[in-house]
Amino acid sequence: MKLERITLREIRMPLVSAFETSFGVTAERRILLVEIAGEGVSGWGEVTATEGPFYNEEFTDSAWHVLKHFSIPNVLALPLASANEAPARWRNLRGNHMATGGLEAALWDWEAKLQSRPLHDLLGGVHQEIPCGVSIGIQPTVEQLLEAIAKEVAAGYQRVKIKIKPGWDVEVLDTVRERFPRLRLMADANSSYTLADKARLKMLDRFYLMMLEQPLAHDDLIDHAKLQQYIQTPICLDESIRTPHHAEQAIELGACRIINIKLGRVGGFRAARAIHDCCQAAKIPVWCGGMLESGVGRAHNIALSTLPNFVLPGDVSASKRYWIQDIIHPEVEVSARGTIRVPSAPGVGFEVDRQRVEYLTVRKESFP
């Protein structure tokens, strides 16, 4: 593969509505896009880091720095035979998975396009249609939450995830369950509890949630294993699973029964596939998480979700839930059955709207 140029850019995109989690509110995204150009073809990737170091240690500006000074020079240093080899180039870097993951994802898109194959095919995907859920942020009032859920249910989404935190949990879920007794429902705490809250978390059992996502510390496995012993609701890990090794350890400890795989959090497709395979062997179902991505990251999430053990609805939903106008053509659309049809064009299968990207760009740098 003859790589000619890597272009890094930052775009700013206001969200259609602000998104609140236990760690803060996001109204505007600052997204880094990576473009790989070579042999007359471009591959695109998205860095999924948040604006501040609140979900994990990474943030937009740290990712720019790591890409510019470490990951990009390592990729440009020697010819590359495949995207699958790329992670070996930054073996010497610790963490910063979202930065390198955006570059890795761009290389996969580029390689698939060089071979005129859809990315899901290159990855070994099997699903042609993927089941979709939505993630609904903390709302100003419970009434607004009920309205937001009703809207997504009417749109056909297959499951609803709500964000919880201490002070926005049992009473809220009581009201939601009363109004939507049969809804496939789950809750994501984004690490806002400790094991000292176990009695409170056990109260969630009565809501027969599909799962409780990342209740305890972002870097913990052992307390999650203790909590899983104590509650009936299946625990799903998000933040705690950064490497295939973490997935193996979590499974061995019984720290979760489900894993949410995010391409950025684990550093790209190679690691995501390894975690997928390890979960599949252990009969742990997985689903694809979201990071409020633009169309570029969304398209990668769709490709990832075609792997066989992605059997639960993911947080991969329609472009219009996030953006007035997305940066890809066509935009991601969800059927009335709550599914996304996997595209069959080469690479991720969506076209990047260069004009729109150019318009949204606030900084840009090319290498070499």
Give me the residues that bind ligand OSB (CB under 6 A), please.
Answer: 21, 55, 135, 188, 190, 238, 289-292, 315
Residues at the site binding Mg ion, with contacts judged by CB under 5 A: 188, 213, 238
Q: Choose the one of Mg ion, ligand OSB, none that binds residue 349, judging by a C-beta under 5 to 8 angstroms depending on kind.
A: none
* Alpha carbon distance 346, 109 (integer Å): 8
Q: 194: part of which helix (H) or strand (E)?
A: none
**Set 262, 283, 320, 364: catalytic member:** 262
Q: 366: part of which helix (H) or strand (E)?
A: strand 361-367
* Alpha carbon distance 9, 106 (integer Å): 13
Q: By C-beta, is 223 or 238 nearer to ligand OSB?
A: 238
Q: Which residue is nearest to Mg ion (CB)?
A: 238
* Alpha carbon distance 117, 127 (integer Å): 16
Would residue 262 show up in a list of annotated catalytic residues for this protein?
yes
User: Tokens at residue 106, please?
Assistant: 């761009």
Would residue 364 show up in a list of annotated catalytic residues for this protein?
no
* Alpha carbon distance 266, 244 (integer Å): 8
**Set 163, 165, 198, 320: catalytic member:** 163
Half-sphere exposure of 71 (CA within 13 A, CB side): 30
User: Tokens at residue 327, please?
Assistant: 């940066």
Q: By C-beta, is 169 or 188 nearer to Mg ion?
A: 188
**Strand, helix or coil for residue 24:** strand
Q: Choose the one of Mg ion, ligand OSB, none that binds residue 291, judging by a C-beta under 5 to 8 angstroms depending on kind.
A: ligand OSB
Query: Shortest distance, CB of residue 290 to ligand OSB, whole angstroms?
Result: 2
Q: By C-beta, is 6 or 227 nearer to ligand OSB?
A: 227
Is there a cis peptide before residue 53, judged by omega within 30 degrees of 0? no
Residues 227 and 198 sit within 8 Å (Cβ to Cβ): yes
Q: By C-beta, is 247 or 342 nearer to Mg ion?
A: 247
* Alpha carbon distance 291, 305 (integer Å): 15
Q: Choose the one of Mg ion, ligand OSB, none that binds residue 292, judging by a C-beta under 5 to 8 angstroms depending on kind.
A: ligand OSB
Query: Shortest distance, CB of residue 289 to ligand OSB, whole angstroms?
Result: 5
Query: Shortest distance, CB of residue 115 to Mg ion, whole angstroms?
Result: 33
Residues 260 and 236 sit within 8 Å (Cβ to Cβ): yes
Q: By C-beta, is 35 or 315 nearer to ligand OSB?
A: 315
Q: Choose the one of ligand OSB, Mg ion, none that binds residue 295, judging by a C-beta under 5 to 8 angstroms depending on kind.
A: none
Q: Which residue is nearest to ligand OSB (CB)?
A: 290
Residues with a known catalytic role: 163, 262
